[in-house]
Chains A and B, each alone.
Chain A
Amino acid sequence: MSRISTLFGKLLQNRRKALIPFITAGDPEPGMMVPLMHELVQAGADVIELGVPFSDPMADGPTIQRSSERALKHRVSLQDVLAMVGEFRESDSSTPVVLMGYANPVEAMGYDAFTARAKACGVDGVLIVDYPPEESVEWVEYLKRQNIAPIFLLSPTTPQQRVERVAALAEGYVYYVSLKGVTGSLHLDLHDVAEKLDGLRSRISIPIGVGFGIRDGATARAVAELADAVVVGSRIIEEIERSPKAEVLTNVHRLVKSLRVAIDAVSPAPSAAVKLTHL
């Protein structure tokens, strides 16, 4: 079993929801990434989404754009990001790590070289924001050959037919973008999320994570009532951005811990549709 499936299996048995923080590899600086990843786990992260910085992050809002720019000032490459995961794996063999980024750095490295190296470094899943399923057939084959989960996005505007196409390709979990717009946007409509997730449950057999717009314990908790996993990105990046370097680990720990506590306060949901057999 993959690390992602093992994790969600365990969470389901304990009736808990996953907390998935997102950070950009290289922000605030390359040397702090591995300690930061361990700190996230200590504070209660179940999966780490590690952003691969790109010069043109078209789907991201200002917070993650700035984060990407800071990382690129340190000339962090995809090779460097993979090396960070490899170093993290030396002392953590169980926490899944998912890379999230844009197509061009992966294409520049080549599918074959990238997937082989990612496997060797202990990467568990990859989400390429600008690879919709239509353009992903060959890409998904390369990932699956190395047992790396192809993670896909679903949005409020994804029609049923496309949901099924994503369902056929996706592994690990799917990432439901809870509102229109870019990362870091405000105004999460929980009622709408609940309705949409109901519709997705019958078509998606793997866990569903929800992200975009989760800014505090209250929204994290509310989303955890509905979804299998809660993804938090921009809020954590903001914490990194506004903290003096010496306090980044402490401040991020405190924030992630508060999200963990909020999520764990969710009453066990007997209606959770993900079944052990699907993991």
Chain B
Amino acid sequence: MKVYDLPDSHGHFGPYGGIFVAETLISALEDLRIQYERYRSDADFQAEFAHELKHYVGRPTPIYHAKRWSAQLGGAQILLKREDLNHTGAHKINNAMGQALLARRMGKSRVIAETGAGQHGVATATVAARYGMECVIYMGSVDVERQAANVYRMKLLGAEVIPVESGSRTLKDALNEAMRDWVTNVADTFYIIGTVAGPHPYPMMVRDFQAIIGREAITQMQEDYGRQPDALIACVGGGSNAIGLFYPYLDSSIRMIGVEAAGHGVETDQHAATLTKGRPGVLHGNRTYLIQDENGQIVETHSISAGLDYPGVGPEHAWLKDSGRAEYFGITDEQALEAFHALCHYEGIIPALESSHALAYAARLAPALTSDKLLLVNLSGRGDKDMPTVARASHITF
């Protein structure tokens, strides 16, 4: 059996990934790469990470059998990996915790992060408070306006939230601005990237910190069901929750399905289905699929879910798509909302709109399969943050 061992030493996943940044950032990335290599195999570091995940984050998260919803759909059994039960309500904290511990080992007193919906910003502000570090969060001014509750959460946790006014004033611009801060303040600052994108070693490092999801799943499936699932399903924006679930399963032959945001439909220009509709290019320090115009300018994307509203995708997903190891499909805003309501109704679980995309794909796949098949869906976050969006979509005002 071929053992999966990507990325290579320069951060390449086939033709994707790499280090595409200005010379001014190279030495900071090299320092990070060396330090991460060291702590990646350091028993003390890994023990501290495991301890924090257990006692602070609340892991392991259970696998829950959505029996009523599965019965209603008629077909395969839908199992949910409950990342929504983590502290702060999503998988994002796994990675924020890992990077915060690394920042401490590297002697950095200040952490910065970009955020779109605010989930990664909240996770970063949380770990910064936990360790007494200064914290600055960059957030597009459009997002600041539409995610007011999360902005307040970050401020409560002691973070400074800086609205970004450049470009489209959304997640991609927040990432640009965080990079600019980092290159200026690299001596005391650690940049906690929230997804499996950016220059090497970020895609690898974030994946490693999120891989706890898949490792737990392998153990839990064996214990609870005596076997592994027939397919893994996860939503993909940048792709960190999906890669966290997929990565420990890569050497198996289990089917892997990434679900992108098709917005108003991939046939329109209002979507964020990067792997379905994008072309390879270079953005934010790595080569990957991008939603761009014919001149190579990055264009604005759309999804009802702010966490999937990103014109790029992690380079490892680009590679998994090209190599055929994983499959990627789009789910529209409308389909995601339908799955959102179904999970509320049948299971008493309010899912994040991001995760609702994965649920919607599972709901399409399940009826085509027999009832002995098991679909493991990563329920990457809870939906409390999405109340205003869902209410608006249902024409309800509070």
A residues within 8 Å of B by Cβ?
Answer: 54-59, 61-62, 65-66, 69, 72, 77-79, 102-109, 129-132, 134-135, 152-155, 157-159, 162, 177, 180-182, 185
Contacts and interface: CB of A to CB of B under 8 A. Distances in A.
A104 B292 contact: yes
A104 B24 contact: no
Nearest to B21: A130
24 contacts: A58-B21, A58-B176, A58-B284, A59-B21, A59-B180, A61-B180, A62-B166, A104-B298, A105-B297, A109-B295, A131-B20, A132-B23, A134-B10, A134-B19, A155-B22, A155-B23, A157-B26, A158-B26, A159-B27, A177-B23, A181-B24, A181-B180, A181-B184, A185-B184
A56 B27 contact: no
Contacts of A180: 24, 183-184, 186
B296 A107 contact: yes
Contacts of A54: 296-297
3 smallest beta-carbon distances between A and B, as pairs: A108-B296, A105-B296, A157-B27
Nearest to B173: A56
B265 to A, nearest CB: 24
Q: Which one of A56, A72, A102, A129 has the highest number of Cβ atoms from chain B below 10 Å of its Cβ?
A: A56
A108 B281 contact: yes
A178 to B, nearest CB: 11
Contacts of B19: 132, 134-135
A245 B245 CA distance: 56
Given A56-B298, A180-B186, A130 B180 contact: no
Contacts of A58: 21-22, 176, 179-180, 284-285
A109 B167 CA distance: 22
Determine the main DSSP class of B at the interface with A. mixed
Nearest to A176: B23
A154 B26 CA distance: 10
B282 A55 contact: no
Given A62-B166, A69-B167, A104-B283, A109 B296 contact: yes
A108 B23 contact: no
A57 B24 CA distance: 14
A105 B295 contact: yes
Contacts of A56: 167, 172-173, 176, 283-284, 298
Given A69-B166, A108-B281, 4 more contacts: A56-B298, A109-B295, A132-B23, A157-B28
B281 A104 contact: yes
Contact of A135 (B20, B186, B294, B297): B20
Q: Which one of A59, A106, A130, A135 has the highest number of Cβ atoms from chain B below 10 Å of its Cβ?
A: A130
A262 B176 CA distance: 35
Nearest to A136: B20
A130 B286 CA distance: 9
Given A69-B166, A130-B20, A130-B282, A108 B176 contact: no
A56 B172 CA distance: 8
Contacts of A65: 166-167
B20 A55 contact: no
A61 B292 CA distance: 23
B290 interface: yes
Interface string B68-93: 00000000000000000000000000
B23 A153 contact: yes
B18 interface: yes
A74 B54 CA distance: 54
A134 B281 CA distance: 17
A55 B298 contact: yes
Nearest to A79: B295
Q: Which one of B172, B176, B298, B299 has the highest number of Cβ atoms from chain A below 10 Å of its Cβ?
A: B176
B282 A182 contact: no
Contacts of B179: 58
B295 A182 contact: no
Nearest to A159: B27
A107 B297 CA distance: 11
A105 B298 CA distance: 9
Contacts of B10: 134
A117 to B, nearest CB: 14
Given A58-B179, A180-B183, A180-B186, A108 B292 contact: yes
Q: Which one of B10, B23, B184 has the highest number of Cβ atoms from chain A below 10 Å of its Cβ?
A: B23
Given A56-B284, A109-B296, A129 B183 contact: no
A102 B282 contact: yes
Contacts of A130: 20-22, 282, 285
A135 B23 contact: no
